[in-house]
Amino acid sequence: MVSFKALAALFLASSACAAPVETEGTSIARDLAKRGDVPGDVWVCYDYDWQGKCSNFIVPVNGCVNFQDYYPFRPEDLPAGSGRRTPRSIGPAHNMWCLVYRDFWCHDQFGGTFSNPGFNRIDGVKSIHCWY
């Protein structure tokens, strides 16, 4: 099982976003295009089971994804900007739901703020809160 710290490290390491991650032979970039997500959209994902804590992390929609075992939501489950949540299993003890944001602001645990699509302040990755 991949730890949350490992996922956070992958997020930081992949901020430049090279080639899209291939998942089960399907390009995430192609999947994004089919769903109608565009660069500047953001997935904000919450997993209440990592180490028994409520954790969250952000995934920029720019043709790549930052960790291998992310289970994408379907557009019919979660229309962009709707604020609805959909549970998704990403492991035996992990129940995650995601939101899609078009316009949003985030702040990290140190009080820094950043807006879509900059993602310059990820040092508070375990305590990021977003709204729109």
C-alpha closest to that of 69 among 44, 96, 51: 96
Confidence (pLDDT) at 126: 32
**Helix segments in 20-111, DSSP class H:** 28-35
pTM: 0.22
> What pLDDT, on a 0 to 100 scale, did the predictor assign at position 79?
36
What residues in the chain have per-residue pLDDT under 70? 1-132
pLDDT at 26: 44
